[in-house]
Amino acid sequence: MVGRTAFRGDLLYSVVVSGFIYPIFGHWIWGPDGWLGKAGIADLGSTTPFRDFAGSTVVHTVGGVLAICGAIALGPRLGRKFKRDGGGMPPGHNMTLAALGAVILWFGWYGFNPGSTLSAIDFEGIGRVATNTTLAACAGALVAVAWVYPRSKKWDVGISINGLLAGLVAITCPCYWVSPTGSLAIGAVAGAIMIFAVDFTEWVRVDDPCGAFAVHGICGIWGTLSLGLFAVGKYVGGDGKIVKGVLYGGNANQLLAQIKGSATIIVATAAAGLLLMFGIKALGLLRISEAEELEGLDIAEHGAPAYHPEYAYMGYSPLPPSLETAGAARGNGPPSDIHLPTNELA
């Protein structure tokens, strides 16, 4: 939704998403009496609880589905031309900052996943989760880069970022119950399906600048389902029962529970998300004006360009007047309408 969402709309839907949607759906799975996370899932025809160790569904599937609902409600950015219409995804803005952000996210995942053990006493579990998290991220990045190499004959930095995030998202659900080998497989598959999902959103003409739905939505679903395939049958769940997947000799009960639980969350999130986003759009609060979008959100909404040390609301510019004039003459100076008189400190 970046590049065209009004800040006031962002604040409004954030209140609803953070205050109601995440807590309610999270409670269904993680709450002490959550009906999906307990044997109460028998309401869907199963006695095996839906499991999500650290949030492939609770965090990522919910977020990814909400993101695409918002993108659908917003419509594409001005001038966006999709691949099937002879265009394609615009190039990334700053790969250095993007890569830095991805590494920060990856580092944070070691609190996200190992921290979900909720007890340092389970130090073996913490170590296993951390190892599985690392392997899945690496596999996702490497497979994604290799997968797109034939398209451009280049080692794509941007796709490596989304690849490692795809692996991290996918392993978030099963990280406690799978082996290192399973983690590599889960991350590798995530790196590949993420690319297919990016291509799909482009094909259906949904403008998703960062691949949020592909990374968080689709890979969140895959990670959730992968538990029913790759759980090794050595570790217990919150109900005290061994969790075993189909590929390790288990029956299909856990896989079926994961499918039913994931589908339930997807449908509920999509319904809530579409209602929320189109409701805010109907109020005229979701998208900035065409003029503001052309000017850029940094200036139009926040009063300062992202890469120039100026703050219009502070009443000064750090550049001497001579440099301001020279920059404007070359056509690369900051917009004159955000400049206030230069003070003596400048």
Mean pLDDT of 26-45: 79
* Alpha-carbon dihedral sign for residues 276, 281, 282, 284: positive
Residue ranges of the chain assigned to CATH 1.10.3430.10: 7-282
CA distance 75 to 302: 22
Per-residue confidence (pLDDT) for residue 320, from 0 to 100: 47
Percent of the chain with pLDDT over 90: 77
**pLDDT one-digit tens code per residue, 81-101:** 999 999 988 888 889 999 999
Residues 38 and 108: beta-carbon distance below 8 Å: no
Residues 116 and 235: beta-carbon distance below 8 Å: no
Per-residue confidence (pLDDT) for residue 42, from 0 to 100: 53
Residues 16 and 23: beta-carbon distance below 8 Å: no
**pLDDT one-digit tens code per residue, 235-266:** 999 888 999 999 999 999 999 999 999 999 99
Per-residue confidence (pLDDT) for residue 319, from 0 to 100: 47
**pLDDT one-digit tens code per residue, 277-335:** 999 999 999 999 999 999 989 889 988 887 766 555 545 444 444 444 444 444 444 44
Task: Name the band, by pLDDT with cuts 50, 70 and 90, for residue 114.
Answer: very high
Listed as own residue / partner, the contacts of 32-36 with beta carbons closer than 8 Å and 24 or more positions apart are 36/261, 36/264, 36/265
List, in sequence order, the alpha helices (H) in the chain. Answer: 7-16, 22-30, 62-74, 95-112, 123-152, 157-171, 180-203, 212, 219-230, 253-282, 290-295, 297-302, 321-330
Assess whether pLDDT exceeds 80 at residue 41: no
Q: Given its phi and psi angles, is residue 303 left (phi above 0), alpha (psi -120 to 50 degrees) or beta?
A: left
Under DSSP, the state recorded for 316 is B
Per-residue confidence (pLDDT) for residue 333, from 0 to 100: 42
How much is the mean pLDDT over the chain?
Answer: 89
Does CATH number 1.10.3430.10 belong to domain 7-282?
A: yes
